[in-house]
Chain A
Amino acid sequence: MDFVFAQFLTGLAGAASLFLVASGLSIIFGVTRVVNFAHGAFAMLGAYVAYTLTARFSGPFGFWGGILGASVLVALFGAVIEMALLRRLYRAPELFQLLATFGLTLVFEDLVVLVWGPDDLLGPRAPGLAGAVELFGQAVPSYDLLLIALGPIAFGLLWLLFHRTRFGVLVRAATQDREMVAALGVDGRWLFTAVFTLGVFMAAFGGAVQLPRDAVNHTIDLRLIVDVFVVVVIGGLGSVGGAFVASVLVSELDAFGILVLPGVSLVLVFVVMALVLVVRPFGLFGRAEAPSRAVPEPGRKPPAPLSAPARLAVAALVAATATVPLWAGDYLVTVGSEILIVAIFAASLQFIMSAGAMVSFGHAAYFGLGAYGAALAVKLLGLPMLPALACGMLLALAGAALFGWFCVRLSGVYFAMLTLAFAQIAWSVAFGWTGVTGGDNGLLGLWPDGWAASPRAFFWLCLAAAAASVALIRALVFSPFGLGLRAVRDSALRAEALGLGRAPVQWAAFALAGTVAGLAGGLFVFLKGSVFPDSLGIGTSVDGLVMVLLGGIGTVSGGVVGAVVYKALSVWLISQTDHSKLALGLVILALVLLFPAGLGGLASRLAPRRRRAAAPAVHPAVGVGGAP
C-alpha cells in the first residue's frame, strides 16, 4: 500500500513536466492552428541548454537561474523561429506548418548532437533537494515533491493569465476567430508571436525541470512529442485544464503500468487514449470543432480525370522509367525500387488525405502489417513471394478495417491522433512479441523468388505494382464511390441529408488505403530481405505525411512526385553527409517556404489557366478565412 502511494507520487511528479510541455502545445494550437511537431524538440533544447547553464553556474541560484534562463533563451529562439518561418506559413494550406515544424525537428536533432554530442547527459541534482523525504515508510525524492507542487501552480498561473488579463481574453478570442480579433484592431502578428513564445517557454521549462530526474539525449524529442500529443488529445485540444488532468492520467498509467504489466505498459497509454476518444470524440474537456477551411482555395479547379494527351504522357513516363534497369547500375536500380515502393505508400495515404480529408498520423501501421504479414507467411507458412504479398495485404486490410472502424468516428486532429495511437499499439506488439516477430532483431533472410531475384526484375515488379496502384486509386477517386468520399469530406451534413452516411464511406476508403499500403510494406520486405518494428514506427508515418504534403494535398496523385523527390533526396543526402537530418530538415524548410502549395500545387499553378466565367460573382463567405 505504501509502495503504491510512493509510486503514485512518482507518477504525479512525472505529470508536472508533461503538463508544462502539453499546455504549451495546446496553447499554440489553440491560437495559431499550428500542430507544432517541433514542440518535443523545444523541450529537448530546454533540457540541453539548462544542462549547460546549470553546469556553469552552481548553487541554488545557479541551478534555478539556469533552468529559468534556459527556458527564456529557448523561448526567445522560438520567437525568432515564429517570426522568420511560421509567420510566412499561416496562410498556407492546413498541416503545411506541420511539415515545417517536422523539418525543424530534424534540424534540431542533428544540431544538438553537433553541440552536445550523441551521449546521454546527466544533469545536476537540485541544490537542497537532492535527498529524499520519508513518507509512509517510503523514501520519496524531495525534488519529486517540488514537481508535484509545480504542476498545480503552473496551472493556476495559466488560468489567471487566460481569465484575468486582457492578453488572456485576446488569446481566447483569437483561439475562436483570429481574423475577427484583427478586425477589432488587435495586431494578430504580435499576438501570434507572443503565444508561440509562451508555448515554447512552457515546453522548454517542462524539459528543463526534468533534468535532475532523467538523462538528456538527442532522441527524447520524438518520445516527448508522442506523449504530449496523447496528453493533449485525451484532455481535449485547446483545453489547459484538460491537459492537466490528462497529464496526471498518462503519467500514472506509466508509473503503474510498468509495475503491473511491464510488457504492455507502452500499449496501455494508447489503449486508454483510444478508449477515451471512442467515448468522447473530442477528448475529456474538448469541444466539437467546426471543420476549419473546408472551403477549397478560390480559383482551384475541381479535380478531373486526365485528358487523353496527359494519359499518353504518363504512359510514356512509365515506359521511360521501365528502361532504367537497362542503363543504370544495380545500386541505382535498387534505390529506384525503394522509391517506387514508397510512392505506392504515399499514393495510398494521399487517397484518404486528399479525397477523404482523413489525415492519418499512423499510416505506417498498415505498411508494417503488410510487411510482417508477408514475412510471416514466408517464415511460418513457407509461401512463395506473390502469395506472401497477398497475405501481407490481407493482414493490412484486417488491421485497417479494425482500427479504421474506430478512427472514422472522429475527424481532424483527433482522427490523426487515434491513427497514431493504433500505429503505436501495432508497433508495441511487433516490438514486444519477440517469439513471433523477433522483436527488435526483426525477421531476416526474406528474399524474392528466383524469377524476381535480380534487382532489375524486382524493379520491374515494383514499377508494375506502383503503376497499377496509382491507376487504381485514381480510378477510385473518380468513381461513384470516390465522388461519395469527396462528398462526405466537403459536407458531411449535406451528404447525410441526402442519405449518404459519412462513417461507412470513410471506413471503406480507410481499409482500401491500408491494403494498398500493405502491398508497399510487403514489397519493402523482399527488397531489404528483412523487416523490423521501424516499419510500423512514427518515423515511417511521418515520412508518408511529408511526401503527400510535399506533393500537394490539393492534388490527386502529387504524393507520388513528393515520394520520388523526398526519397531520392534523403538517400542522396545520407550518402553525402553525416548530418543528413540537418540537411534534409533544411531542404524541407526551403521547399515549404518556396512552394507553399506543394510541388503538385506548383505544377497546377504553371498549367494554363482556365478562362474564368464573365461574371465574377463570388460567394461572400469564401473570402478571407471564410465563415466559422
Chain B
Amino acid sequence: MTGRPAMDLLAVEGLAKSYGGVGAVRGVSFALAPGEVLALIGPNGAGKSTCFNMLNGQIRPDAGRIRLAGTDVTGMAPRRMAGLGVARSFQIAATFGSMTVRENVQAACLVHAGGMARPFGRADRRFRPEAERWLDHVGLLAQADRPAAELAYGDVKRLELAMALSGAPRLLLMDEPTAGMAPKERHGLMRATVDHARRNGIGLMFTEHDMDIVFTHADRVLVLSRGRLIAAGRPEAVREDPDVRATYLGGGLTFAAAPGRTEAVS
C-alpha cells in the first residue's frame, strides 16, 4: 500500500455547495485510486451526504471539478454517471420494495445491459443465474423469493450492495453501508466488500459512524467538519489527530478502536 498509482480513478478538486448562503461543502479536494478504500467521516451535518450526492451527480456542485478516470464528470446526471461505472448505496437504503429480492437484482442487471426498454418477453426469466450469483455473494440467496419490502434492515443494505456490484462498477460509493447491522455482520459485510473491491480494482469510498469499521477497513480516512476537510491520511494518524478528537471522536468511550481507550463504566 505504498506509492499511489499514477492514474487516479477519482480526482476531486475544490468541490463546493451551499444552500441559502450556508456553505454545506466548502472546497473539498481528494483523490482515490483503483482498489483503494477511502472512508469519509465527520460530525452529523458536516456535509458528508452532500459531498457524496455530488460525487454521483445527485446534486450539482456550485464550484469544483470531479474527474472519473480522467474524464470530467462534474454536474453529470446520476444515470449517466451510472453508465460510466459509478454505483452507490444510500443512507436510507433504496430498493424496489414491491418486487422479490431476485427481481431487484434482475432489474439492476437489465438496466446495466441496456435491456430495460424491451416491451416483450418475461423479465423474471432474464439474468436469473447472474442475479442469483450476486445474491449468493452477499448472502441473500435463501431470501431470493421474498418481497424486498419484508427484508430486515441489514439485509436491505446487502441487497443494495448486490444491485450495485452487479453492474461491475469502477467506483463504488456507500453511504453508511453497515448502519443497522450487528457488529459481526458489519465487519463481515465490509470485509467481503473490501476484498471484492481490491480484487477487481474498484475504488471504494464510504461514510460511516461506526469507528471500528472505519479504522479496521479503510486505507485512508478523510475527516469533514463544517464543510471542510480538517484531516486526511492513514487511519492511525487520523485517530490521534487532536482536531479530529475534539470535533468528532470525543473521549472515545463509545467504540473499541478508540485512541488511548479507557474502561469507563460509571
Contact = CB atoms under 8 A, between A and B. Distances in A.
Contact between A and B in the complex (any CB pair below 8 Å):
yes
B214 to A, nearest CB: 23
6 contacts: A295-B149, A480-B110, A483-B124, A496-B82, A497-B78, A501-B79
Interface string B138-170: 000001001101111101100010010001000
B96 interface: yes
B122 interface: yes
A295 B99 CA distance: 11
Interface stretch (B101-109, B241-249, B255-263): B101-109
Given A480-B121, A482-B123, A620-B153, A301 B78 contact: no
Interface in A460-500: 475-476, 478-484, 486-487, 489-491, 493-500
Contacts of A484: 107, 110-111, 116-117
* Interface size class of chain B, counting residues whose CB lies under 8 Å from the partner chain: 35 or more
Given A491-B94, A498-B167, 7 more contacts: A481-B116, A483-B107, A486-B98, A491-B96, A494-B96, A497-B88, A622-B149
B98 A296 contact: yes
Given A295-B149, A478-B124, A484-B116, A494 B155 contact: no
Nearest to B126: A480
Residue from the set A299, A475, A491, A613 with the largest chain B CB neighbour count within 10 Å: A491
B163 A498 contact: yes
A480 B121 CA distance: 7
Interface in B73-88: 77-80, 82-83, 87-88
A137 interface: no
Given A479-B118, A498-B111, A499-B82, A618 B150 contact: yes
A621 B103 CA distance: 21
Interface of A: 294-296, 298-305, 475-476, 478-484, 486-487, 489-491, 493-501, 505, 613, 617-622, 627
Q: Sorted from nearest, which 9 A-B pairs have the closest CB atoms? A: A499-B82, A490-B96, A483-B123, A494-B94, A617-B152, A484-B116, A480-B118, A481-B119, A496-B78
Contacts of B233: none
Given A302-B147, A484-B116, A496-B79, A617 B155 contact: yes
A475 B121 CA distance: 8
Contacts of A496: 58, 77-79, 82
B120 interface: yes
B183 interface: no
B151 A486 contact: no
B96 A479 contact: no
A486 B79 contact: no
B143 A613 contact: yes
B122 A486 contact: no
A500 B143 CA distance: 25
Interface of B: 56, 58, 77-80, 82-83, 87-88, 90, 92, 94-100, 103, 106-108, 110-112, 115-124, 126, 143, 146-147, 149-153, 155-156, 160, 163, 167
A301 B149 CA distance: 10
Contacts of A493: 90, 94
Nearest to A489: B98
A498 B58 CA distance: 12
Contacts of B112: 498-499
Contacts of B118: 479-481
A316 to B, nearest CB: 23
Contacts of A483: 99, 103, 106-107, 110, 116, 123-124
A613 B146 contact: yes
A478 B98 CA distance: 13
Contacts of A486: 96, 98-99
A416 B206 CA distance: 39
